[in-house]
Chain A
Amino acid sequence: QTVVTQEPSLTVSPGGTVTLTCASSTGPVTSGYYPNWFQQKPGQPPRALIYSITNKHSWTPARFSGSLLGGKAALTLSGVQPEDEAEYYCLLYYSRWVFGGGTKLTVL
């Protein structure tokens, strides 16, 4: 069974930088997995942030960036704002789509 693993929780100070990662149980994440990142706040649907590793949607704030890092997909937030506190999910493609378990980001 394919498992996508994210950090369960991370804490960052306002104005700081944090990197969330997304690992595949099958091996290194590559472009063929089409990594996506989503943000979800309580009571709201997910909001798409990044697709195909690095590509931003028109509404994605500039402080969010995607990359591949050490065999994982990564989402970096630079200059974190209080409103970035949320759950973040990655999504990988394996002949079907599989979400990671999510990372709860606390801004404190």
Chain B
Amino acid sequence: EVQLVESGGGLEQPGRSLRLSCAASGFTFDDYAMHWVRQAPGKGLEWVSGISWNSGSIGYADSVKGRFTVSRDNAKNSLFLQMNSLRAEDTALYYCAKDIDSNWHTYGMDVWGQGTTVTVSS
């Protein structure tokens, strides 16, 4: 069974940093691209970032570009999101999602984790 388990969320002050992790199991992790998608309380979905199977291609939403960095460790079947210069508007449930393909910019997501909550507040 394909499983994605996010962790690392919490309460952080504006301007500070957080690092999210996503542990993957049940599939060959390094065959697939991965994504981060977030959902602010009571709002819709927002794509945050995507990374190809070998980290050779990466994309970000304009809202996080320059502040967030996505990475992966294929040896550890793990995906990460380093979130710097946090803002109140980054408050959301952050989902890790597997892509259908090895590249993040072709097909889209199939399997999603349960998410980890990030709250940015002073």
Using a CB–CB distance below 8 Å, which chain A residues touch chain B?
34, 36, 38, 40, 45-48, 51-52, 57, 87, 89, 91, 93, 95-102
Contacts and interface: CB of A to CB of B under 8 A. Distances in A.
A102 B112 contact: no
Interface residues of B, number: 24
B50 A99 contact: no
B45 A51 contact: no
A38 B21 CA distance: 23
B111 A96 contact: no
Interface string B21-50: 000000000000001010000001111001
Contacts of A98: 47
The secondary structure that dominates the A interface is strand
Contacts, number: 64
11 contacts: A34-B107, A40-B45, A45-B115, A46-B37, A48-B109, A96-B61, A96-B62, A97-B35, A97-B59, A98-B47, A100-B44
Contacts of B18: none
Given A34-B107, A51-B108, A99 B115 contact: no
B109 A99 contact: no
Given A45-B115, A46-B95, A99 B44 contact: yes
Given A45-B114, A51-B100, A96-B59, A36 B46 contact: no
Interface of B: 35, 37, 44-47, 50, 59-62, 95, 100, 105-115
Contacts of B59: 95-97
Given A36-B108, A46-B112, A96-B59, A91 B47 contact: yes
B45 A38 contact: yes
